[in-house]
């Protein structure tokens, strides 16, 4: 069982994932990231279903059986989970130390049976099925109240933290609302009072008018580089319809999001030579929880996606101050992505 611990000064929680236990030798410098080759063995490839924990969901051909070939999107528990399912954990508090059991969910969504087929290579309908799987898993996990926040994310490339190269996304559900998510919720609530409207709705309107940071806009989504991006070519995908929850997207919107993601990841791949990247969804916490009444989430929070290509290193200045140095202005990045 892993453990959650809180840093009393910064207020951040960390997951000490002892089941991923490592010794100093495990950190010897590794070789360079090679251009993707099919590795000798991949547990996520079709035919190797027995090498993962039993699947919790899949989209598969009629008549095919769980944990057998025939699927095109497959969800399995992480074999080395950061958190494990369990009862709501008790919070321990002893003077300056606070901790709780590492209760949570950690799943892997295998996006395709084909090892070399990246997200922008997938047909739109297939990518829509990946997104629908995100939705279904989020909703299913949120039925258990101890999982207060469900985080959907993707690490692509070793530099972006992926340990396996086969295309996959991940879901981690935590028994507390992460500090950064909480701060965003509080901040959006405050900004809603200040501006009399959702800060994301306002951002979408202004970015569309200004145009300089706009990467694309269609019937349901808008993609822009942020005004103050931490990283070069950082991107945000905003839904035009205000909603706090990704899990409430309609099928039409899911289709449009698939088209949008395919277009944007394709652009990044072309302009930046197939960069490693992270993306994640920011949405409101588990809607089945009674949320504090003063946070008028429905009006003030607006779910969205953030995409971070991994092009620069975070270093001592950033770690120590929270300030980021970005050598590419977002207007320049948007120019390259639309040029």
Task: Show which residues are catalytic.
Answer: 168
Minimum CB distance to its own copies smaller for 6 or for 60: 6
Minimum CB distance to its own copies smaller for 15 or for 76: 15
Strand-pairing partners, residue 279, are 154, 307
Contact positions with its own copies (CB under 8 A) in 138-157: 149, 151, 153-155
Contacts of 235 (CB under 8 A, 6+ apart): 215, 223, 224, 225, 264, 268, 306, 307, 337
Contact positions with its own copies (CB under 8 A) in 109-138: none
Contact positions with its own copies (CB under 8 A) in 265-284: 271-273, 275, 278-282
Q: How far apart are CA 85 and CA 235, in angstroms?
A: 33
3-class DSSP string for 48-86: CHHHCCCCCEEEECCCCCCCCCCEEEEEEECCCCCCECC
Q: At its nearest, how many Å lie between its own copies and the CB of residue 317?
A: 6
> How big is the site for its own copies, counted in residues (CB under 8 A)?
97
Counting Cβ atoms within 10 Å, is residue 96 exposed (0-12), middle (13-18) or buried (19+)?
exposed
Name which position in 65, 145, 195, 338 contacts its own copies (CB under 8 A).
195
Closest CA to 294 of 192, 153, 165: 192
Stretch of 37-45, 69-77, 284-292, 330-338 contacting its own copies, by CB under 8 A: 330-338
Contact positions with its own copies (CB under 8 A) in 237-256: none
Binding mask 23-62 for its own copies (x = CB under 8 A): xx--xxx-xxx-----------------------------
240 φ, ψ (degrees, to nearest 5): -70, -35
Rg of the chain, C-alpha, whole Å = 20
Q: At its nearest, how many Å lie between its own copies and the CB of residue 241?
A: 19
Q: At its nearest, how many Å lie between its own copies and the CB of residue 29?
A: 7
Q: How far apart are CA 208 and CA 228, in angstroms?
A: 16
Q: How far apart are CA 215 and CA 286, in angstroms?
A: 31
Contact positions with its own copies (CB under 8 A) in 294-313: 306, 308-309, 311-313
Minimum CB distance to its own copies smaller for 121 or for 184: 184
Q: Does residue number 173 form part of the binding site for its own copies (CB under 8 A)? A: no
Q: Does residue number 196 form part of the binding site for its own copies (CB under 8 A)? A: no
């Amino acid at each position: 069982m892993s453990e959650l611990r809180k840093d009393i000064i910064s207020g951040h929680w960390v997951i000490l994932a002892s089941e991923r236990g490592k010794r100093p030798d495990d950190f010897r410098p590794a070789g360079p990231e090679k251009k993707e080759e099919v590795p000798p063995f991949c547990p996520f490839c079709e035919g190797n279903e027995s090498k993962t924990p039993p699947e919790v969901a899949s989209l598969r051909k009629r008549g095919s059986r769980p944990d057998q070939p025939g699927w095109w999107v497959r969800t399995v528990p992480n074999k080395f989970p950061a958190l494990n399912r369990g009862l709501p954990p008790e919070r321990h508090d002893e003077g300056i130390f606070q901790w709780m059991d590492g209760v949570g969910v950690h799943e892997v969504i295998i996006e395709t049976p084909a090892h070399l087929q990246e997200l922008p290579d997938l047909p739109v309908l297939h990518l829509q099925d990946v997104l629908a799987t995100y939705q279904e898993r989020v909703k299913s996990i949120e039925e258990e109240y101890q999982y207060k926040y469900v985080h959907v994310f993707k690490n692509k490339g070793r530099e972006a933290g992926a340990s396996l190269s086969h295309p996959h996304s991940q879901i981690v559900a935590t028994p507390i609302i992460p500090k950064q998510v909480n701060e965003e919720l509080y901040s959006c609530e405050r900004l809603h009072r200040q501006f009399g409207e959702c800060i994301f709705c306002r951002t979408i309107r202004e970015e569309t008018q200004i145009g300089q940071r706009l990467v694309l806009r269609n019937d349901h989504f808008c993609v822009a580089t942020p005004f103050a991006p931490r990283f070069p070519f950082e991107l945000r995908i905003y839904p035009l319809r205000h909603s706090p929850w990704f899990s409430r997207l309609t099928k039409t919107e899911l289709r449009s999001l698939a088209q949008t993601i395919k277009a944007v990841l394709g652009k990044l791949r072309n302009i930046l030579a197939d960069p490693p990247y992270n993306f994640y969804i920011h949405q409101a916490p588990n809607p089945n929880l009674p949320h504090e009444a003063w946070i008028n989430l429905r009006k003030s929070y607006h779910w969205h996606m953030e995409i971070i290509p991994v092009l620069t290193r975070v270093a001592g200045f950033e770690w120590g101050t929270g300030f980021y140095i970005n050598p590419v202005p977002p207007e320049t990045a948007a120019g390259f992505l639309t040029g």
